[in-house]
Structure 1
Amino acid sequence: MFATYLVVIILTSAVNGLAAMANFIGHEYPKSQADKLRVPRSWMRPLGALLAAGALGLLAGFAVPALGTLAAACLVLYFLGALCAHLRVRDYQLGPWSVFFCLPVAALAVSLVYHGAW
């Protein structure tokens, strides 16, 4: 079980950390998504900070398990908010969103199972 926990947490943290970096450096993909979803570009850095905090929180969960579980839950909420933004503008191309959403859901599930809370 530890191997599954380790792989899921590291993969989720890496993907969200890379997404945060893309927001921080002003990569074209987050900009195009912001424009498509009618989110101000000025929100890209704060949203990137939330992603970075989630990624670091997942890694901190190796030392403080409750922190990792909380970070995974917060990332799930973050991506539920992203779903609302997609649906608000009637954007139903949710393939990339579903990958980003399923990773923290999996991280939350394995964290709860591994730490015996479920």
Structure 2
Amino acid sequence: MNLAYTIVTVLAALWVGFSALSVFIHAKWVVEPLAEYGVARRWWPWLGAAKAAGSLGLLAGLFVPVIGVLATIGLVLYFTGAVVTVARARSYAHLPFPLLYLAPVVGAFLLGV
């Protein structure tokens, strides 16, 4: 296993896990924009759970590669959906934020290929 892949994967998992935790604890900097984008409050726990599962899947992928690939696919779809949601809300100044979570996930995947 490549050391760079391991480091980037662990960092990506921690970064996405932090994002999930931020949703679960209703951090102001996360939930206010979600409300602004029109994301229903009842979806917030599910969004946090999806990110948490993706984070754990990235870590599990270090030992079972197919799980990492599936987690990567899920997270790419998740954060692509986040970009679309932000764009549809015309909150263009916020577009970089989901991309900041997407980039290390894709980077980890590319290092693992």
- Secondary structure of 2:92 counterpart: coil
- Secondary structure of 2:77 counterpart: helix
Q: Percent identity?
A: 38
Unaligned residue ranges in structure 2 (runs of 5+) = none
Give me the CA root mean square deviation. Answer: 1.3
TM-score by length of 2: 0.92
Do structure 1's residue 96 and structure 2's residue 94 form an aligned pair? Answer: no
Q: State the Cα deviation string for residues 82-108 of structure 1 (Å, max 9, x = none).
A: 011011111212222221121111122
Aligned to 2:110: 109
- Contact preservation (8 Å) 1:5, 1:107: yes
Higher relative contact order (CA 8 A, sep 6+): 2
Alpha-carbon shift at residue 25 of structure 1 (Å): 1.3
Q: How many residues align structurally?
A: 112
- Secondary structure of 1:26 counterpart: coil
Point out the more displaced range, 101-110 or 73-82.
101-110
Aligned to 2:5: 5
Aligned to 2:44: 44
Deviation >4 Å, runs of 4+: none
Unaligned residue ranges in structure 1 (runs of 5+) = 114-118
* Correspondences of 1:15-34 after superposition (within 5 Å): 15-34=15-34
Q: State the Cα deviation string for residues 19-75 of structure 1 (Å, max 9, x = none).
A: 111111111122112112111122111100000000000000122111111101210
